[in-house]
Structure 1
């Protein structure tokens, strides 16, 4: 008589509904259980891991998500269903709020209309390439019906296409969002490979950035004379700090005696938290920079000016701790700063440019980086003067 096979402890002690965990013949561990599926049904899912704990953790996460009423994505389901699941249960916990908002808009405007009806399991690289090529050559006014919402139609509604195409940078962004979503589907073993990675998009050329010349910078600094944020604009021109980094500076970050500033955070507006201080975009963005001598003088004057504003505000002063604030001490909105900058450009009769340079932008006078803090080389005359 054959001896009964020993039942693994994981099968004996797990409660009904918790699923099963067992080791396969190939050495891997497999966990299986029932979760909520699309259409208010239930399906049995299987996950794998190199250890029992890894497989059990994966299954527990899926069951917990199911218990919250979120249906599990299925390779038999549509691309639209998986993208919705990914945005609502995965990406929302791993992306910054503003980034998640952009991902959601990209999915709603382009991914779901173009690929949403296809089955996730049957999506091919050819499908993705064909859709991207069509998106590249299709007028967005016609595709999205934008002309119907205009007071004065100027495209398809009048029988004349305006040929409004997506830029190469936007196309690359849409492609990257799709790759991120499908990469998660691979990690959850919904599909065997990320077909979007097999589609070549090419590297889009960034828009050429032309910072102010030496003469233009001098004219702008002259226009900022007497402005309560003149120290901010001088710091922006001489160091190339981003707008959020400038607004996120606190007095504790500045060492005026040593002539340095520590960049630790960025100030941004989010839908849920309003004006919020966030960590820098990447770990390498958190850094210490040397402050030019003119900036040290202007910052000292700005500190004295802020003390006078605090005395004048009295009990109405909001001690936010930021270097650059509103007259009552509250933080400054990024949009407000942009309006001030644009008004000063008009006052100086200069062309309109972005408030600060993008990382990697090149000086028009010497072709070097316009951000001295990001380069071991000393700034050129154009950067020293503005």
Structure 2
């Protein structure tokens, strides 16, 4: 009996459920197999590669994902179905909880109503551009039914449209969420290209902020003198720490002898976990900063004050190691800190600003003293220096004027 010849590489026998792999006439390799699809069904998917190994690796990854119970989206399905899959199975593992919440609100409020019925595979750049142009001129008060939900209509229901339109910044954000979702669809080979990348929304103007001047900063600190959180506000103005970074500080993060602080975490309120300690915003945000002598002294006094509060609270004290707490040792809610900050602004007779503007005030005042951008970048915890340069471009322009004026005086009066 003649033994059977070895099967060619493109026709090798594979185990049941492993799919098939073969070489096409155009020279590429194609692998196909069944995976879990939305609706608890199964579908056959095909992937391609320049080599047998590449095609087989791609198929194996899809089958492994399917075996973990994650459905593979179908390009024949609607964009709404894909966005739901992306939020629930992809984005949730790569985004911070608050960011995922904002993405979900953006998808539910804008993307699904506007483009949700479009087929993922048939979505075009023209569709995205037309939808964005329409969104740019649409009154949100009318579209989202805000006026209809009021006790007394005062907009479209009485034919007096308030023309409440989305800002360019919001439009750019919505566009970026769509681009992120479609980018993942490209990586999963559901679609050949990201059509949202071919649509330009224009660069929105950066959000304007009004940092405190040196005089206003001194005025604010004077008003905060005597408040139990005076040290927090002093630290915010001297170091530019974010609100969450300040509230997430622990005594173990401070080295008062060396006058340094290690920024390792941030405190935020999330929908699922309430007040939660999270890693810093970015890797660059995890840093060690120098503390001025004034803040070191204030922190020592604050520690003594906290010890007295602990003695008064007795058994009700909730020890968590945080530097800034309530009088009972609990962590401070960021919203309550904002209310305290607004009250102190009124007491100081200053205009209302955001708490985050204290950070901008620090950077602006330091930059005006001639400190280099790279030092400010490290202090603030910005990842690329371009962020620092862009945000504080107005200060650099003023410094250029000062430099030119100095040069002019030197040339006029040798």
Aligned to 2:242: 242
How many corresponding residue pairs? Answer: 377
Aligned to 1:203: 203
Aligned to 2:159: 159
Q: CA deviation at 1:238?
A: 1.6
Look up the SS of the partner of 2:269 in the other structure: strand
Greater mean deviation of Cα atoms: 167-176 or 273-282: 273-282
- Is the contact made by 1:244 and 1:266 (CA closer than 8 Å) also made in structure 2? yes
Work out the CA distance in 2 between the residues paired with 1:159 and 1:363: 46
Q: CA deviation at 1:152?
A: 2.4
Q: CA deviation at 1:195?
A: 0.6
Aligned to 1:336: 336
1:263-284 C-alpha deviation (Å, 9 max, x unpaired)? 1111112222221111111111
The RMSD of aligned alpha carbons is 3.1
Q: Which runs of 5+ in 2 are unaligned?
A: 380-394, 396-414
- Is the contact made by 1:360 and 1:369 (CA closer than 8 Å) also made in structure 2? no
Are the structure 2 counterparts of residues 197 and 367 from structure 1 closer, same or farther at C-alpha, using a change threshold of 3 Å? farther
Matched, 1:270 2:267: no
Look up the SS of the partner of 1:266 in the other structure: strand
Work out the CA distance in 2 between the residues paired with 1:56 and 1:316: 61
Work out the CA distance in 1 between the residues paired with 2:370 and 2:335: 26
1:269-307 C-alpha deviation (Å, 9 max, x unpaired)? 222222111111111111111212221121111011111
Work out the CA distance in 2 between the residues paired with 1:194 and 1:59: 22
Q: How does 1:1-386 map to 2 (within 5 A)?
A: 4-6=5-7, 12=13, 14=15, 16-21=16-21, 30-38=30-38, 41-48=41-48, 55=55, 58-63=58-63, 65-66=65-66, 71-357=71-357, 363=364, 374-375=376-377
Work out the CA distance in 2 between the residues paired with 1:51 and 1:68: 26
Work out the CA distance in 1 between the residues paired with 2:275 and 2:56: 40
Higher helix share: 2
Q: CA deviation at 1:53?
A: 6.7
Q: CA deviation at 1:162?
A: 0.4
Work out the CA distance in 1 between the residues paired with 2:49 and 2:339: 54
Aligned to 1:383: none
Which has the bigger relative contact order, CA under 8 A and spacing at least 6?
A: 1
Q: CA deviation at 1:251?
A: 1.0
Work out the CA distance in 1 between the residues paired with 2:280 and 2:366: 30
Are the structure 2 counterparts of residues 228 and 141 from structure 1 closer, same or farther at C-alpha, using a change threshold of 3 Å? same
Look up the SS of the partner of 1:44 in the other structure: strand
Greater mean deviation of Cα atoms: 92-101 or 26-35: 26-35
Look up the SS of the partner of 2:268 in the other structure: strand
1:333-366 C-alpha deviation (Å, 9 max, x unpaired)? 1111111111111222221111133877763897
- Is the contact made by 2:261 and 2:288 (CA closer than 8 Å) also made in structure 1? yes
Q: Which runs of 5+ in 1 are unaligned?
A: 381-386
Are the structure 2 counterparts of residues 7 and 328 from structure 1 closer, same or farther at C-alpha, using a change threshold of 3 Å? farther
Are the structure 2 counterparts of residues 105 and 123 from structure 1 closer, same or farther at C-alpha, using a change threshold of 3 Å? same
Are the structure 2 counterparts of residues 194 and 375 from structure 1 closer, same or farther at C-alpha, using a change threshold of 3 Å? closer
Aligned to 1:384: none
